[in-house]
Structure 1
């Protein structure tokens, strides 16, 4: 049986890239909450970055909340750190910025934006920028359009992330 790891998708996220490096099958999900529920239901492993944040029912939900909420069902198997994919802040104006909640701390002038649109991933955030729905975005630099986006690069980032590989507790197996 091929080992499978549930994590955040779509293809192109840092979570997807880390799961690929583990050399297993991958089950990608729209949110970490969905990935966790799937992992528990199918008794597979779960990959979550320690810097993860989501907006859940109108409140910020972080790795700490996730970890403590799931103490009964899952346990850490492995923890390591690695650089994320390089990121950029593409900026046309201070109208609307699309960001994944975990990247909001990277934007020093976040309060200057008229509106913040939280996306489920940096991939989704960039799609909003590309479609003209937002005027700024934090995304992975490998996703940008090399012909049109470089003039809008305001900042570059290459942060290190702590990665947490969880397994289901044996009492739940």
Structure 2
């Protein structure tokens, strides 16, 4: 039976890219919480970046929260660092920004935006920008439209990330 790793989707996220590099089946989920629940239910492995953040129950939930909350049920199997895909801040106005919570520190003037819409991925954030539901976004550069988005690039980023591969305790390899 081929090994499966649960992580954040959709296709095109940094998590998806890292999981695929491991040469396994990848189970993509809309949120890390959904990936965590899948991994526990089906005893699959779980790939989580150390920069993971999302909102759960109205509160920020991060990698450290996950790690300590699940200390009895998950085991850290492998850790490595790898650059994320290059990112850009596309900015038309301060009306609304669509942003994944983990990238919010990259926007020094975040408080200037009238509305901040947190998304489950940079892919989703970019879709909102393209649909006109956001006037700014941080997203992976590779999914932007080189021609139509070029004029809106305000900043570019090339951060590295620590990746954590977990296995469920008491699960066979």
Q: Give your verdict on TM over 0.5.
A: yes
1:140 aligns with 2:140: yes
Name the residue aligned to 2:47: 47
- SS of the counterpart of 2:162? strand
1:122 aligns with 2:122: yes
Name the residue aligned to 2:94: 94
Task: State the Cα distance separating 1:29 from its structure 2 match.
Answer: 0.3
Structure 1 residue ranges (4+ consecutive) displaced by more than 3 angstroms after TM superposition: none
Q: Structure 1 CA distance, aligned partners of 2:36 and 2:138?
A: 25
Task: State the Cα distance separating 1:96 from its structure 2 match.
Answer: 0.3
Structure 1 residues 61-105: Cα deviation after superposition (integer angstroms, max 9, x where no partner): 111101111111101000000100000000000110000000000
Q: Structure 2 CA distance, aligned partners of 1:15 and 1:42?
A: 19
Task: State the Cα distance separating 1:6 from its structure 2 match.
Answer: 0.2
Name the residue aligned to 1:75: 75
Q: Structure 2 CA distance, aligned partners of 1:60 and 1:169?
A: 26
Where does structure 1 lack aligned partners over 5 or more consecutive residues? none
Name the residue aligned to 1:23: 23
Task: State the Cα distance separating 1:57 from its structure 2 match.
Answer: 1.4
Q: Structure 2 CA distance, aligned partners of 1:115 and 1:167?
A: 38
- SS of the counterpart of 1:147? helix
- Taking structure 2 as the reference length, the TM-score comes to 0.98
Name the residue aligned to 2:160: 160
Task: State the Cα distance separating 1:121 from its structure 2 match.
Answer: 0.2
Name the residue aligned to 1:37: 37
Name the residue aligned to 2:109: 109
- SS of the counterpart of 1:148? helix
The count of residues paired between Structure 1 and Structure 2 equals 172
Q: Structure 2 CA distance, aligned partners of 1:120 and 1:32?
A: 8
Task: State the Cα distance separating 1:49 from its structure 2 match.
Answer: 0.1
